Amino acid sequence: MWPHAAAVLRVARILTHRDADAEDLSQETMLKAFNALESLREGVNIKPWLLSILRNCHIDRTRASKPMLSIDAEEFDPQAKTEADPAPAHGDVEALLESFSDDQVIAALRQLPDAIRWTLLLADVEGLDDAEAAAMLNVPAGTIKSRLHRGRGMLYQSLLPLAKTLRLAI
C-alpha cells in the first residue's frame, strides 16, 4: 500500500486547494486503508482501492462543508464549438497541454464538476483503464467514456483562452 502513497497525495493535491488539506486527506485515506487491510481480498489492485478510499474521504469532507452539485446542473456542451475555435487534432491537444504549467492545468481541473474531475483524474492522470475507473466510481464503462469525452472538451474550453493569451493557440 505504501508504494502508492505518492499517487494518493498527488490526487489529493489536485482535489484540494492547500497542501495542508491535501496532506490531511492523504493521511486520512492511508489510515482508513491500513485499518481495512484485513478486509482486502487477495488479487485486488491496491491503487484503485486506495483511490476509492480517497474519493470517499473527499466526498465526506465536501458534504460536511457544502452541498455537492450535480453534473446534470452543468450547462456545458463540448459539441457546441464555434468555427473560430475548432478543437485541435488529438496529438495537438497533448502537445498543447504539455505547454501549460501543472498549476494551470490543476486550476482548470478544479473548476470541473466532481464526477468529470474524478474520471479525468483516474483515467488521464493515474492511468486507470475504463473498466477500473468504472468499477471504482460504480458506473458503467460507457459512462466513463462519455465523461472522458465531455471532460476533455471542458478542459479544452477552459484552457483555450489562456493558450491564446500565451500565444500557444490562435
Residue 145 pLDDT: 93
Rounded Cα gap, residues 113 and 22, in angstroms? 19
pLDDT bucket at 86, cuts 50 / 70 / 90: very low
Domain ranges of the chain: 2-65, 80-165
pLDDT bucket at 148, cuts 50 / 70 / 90: very high
Rounded Cα gap, residues 61 and 32, in angstroms? 14
Residue 90 pLDDT: 45
What confidence tens digit (pLDDT) does each residue in 13-61 have? 888 878 888 899 999 999 999 988 888 888 778 888 898 898 888 888 8
DSSP code of residue 128? -
**Which triple of cell numbers denotes residue 67?**
452541498
State the average pLDDT for the chain.
Answer: 79
Select 2-65's CATH number: 3.40.50.720, 1.10.3720.10, 1.10.1740.10, 1.10.150.120.
Answer: 1.10.1740.10
CATH of region 80-165: 1.10.10.10
